[in-house]
Amino acid sequence: MQLKRVAEAKLPTPWGDFLMVGFEEIATGQDHLGLIYGDISGPEPVLARIHSECLTGDALFSLRCDCGFQLEASLTHIAEEGRGILLYHRQEGRGIGLLNKIRAYALQDKGADTVEANHELGFAADERDFTLCADMFKLLGIDAIRLLTNNPQKVEILAEAGINIIERVPIIVGRNPENARYLDTKASKMGHLLDDTH
């Protein structure tokens, strides 16, 4: 287990009251969050979203990506279901951090795509560690989930880490002229399933 469960409190939102659970990575002290809605106990698979931190999209209304739209859509979907979990996974910029993401955006402004920009900076296209998310699910007592994602690799990695994924639930929102190329690159180079017909 790479994390410990540290503190929890109510988080009232426009979608209703969530229980906010704070986790700490034992090795680094980095914090992460789980937002729980409704009663997640019992054998019925829980609707779950792993949202990777994107300060620009989540808090600053950026149209360069789809993160802010996905965050809002996830909370809406979970509240409509009456039960679910959103893990707020604090690995900004697919794990390269905010400042390197800004560097990557600068390269994209000069013509690189999101994958090429990461490579030019010396990073893999995706540096995230999803085994931390598997640990958070385990600490929350979750056995089986229905995962909101368009990223089949995420499903594979979590399954390898011991999470029972009953279903992948697509979350295709927020396409706009500013992020169209970025989303097309995610589909063509990173295998994201961004076509509703999948």
Ligand X SMILES: Nc1nc2c(ncn2[C@@H]2O[C@H](COP(=O)(O)OP(=O)(O)OP(=O)(O)O)[C@@H](O)[C@H]2O)c(=O)[nH]1
Question: Which residues contact ligand X by CB under 6 A?
Answer: 52-54, 65, 67, 70, 92-94, 96, 101, 104, 114, 118, 149-151, 154, 186, 192
Told to judge if 126 belongs to the known catalytic residues of this protein, a careful annotator would answer: yes
Which residue among 58, 113, 128, 135 is the active-site one?
128
Annotated binding site for Zn(2+): 54, 65, 67
In three-state secondary structure terms, 89 is strand
Burial class (CB in 10 A: 0-12, 13-18, 19+), 118: buried
Which tokens is 43 given? 């054998």
The Cβ of residue 44 has, within 10 Å, a number of other Cβ atoms equal to: 12
Minimum gap (Å) between residue 48 Cβ and Zn ion: 19
Comparing CB distances to ligand X, the nearer of 65 and 79 is: 65
Least distance CB 41 / ligand X (angstroms):
25
Q: Out of ligand X, Zn ion, none, which partner does residue 186 contact, by CB within 5 to 8 A per kind? A: ligand X
Q: Which residues contact 54 (CB under 8 A, 6 or more apart)?
A: 62, 65, 67, 68, 92, 93
Residue numbers annotated as active site: 126, 128
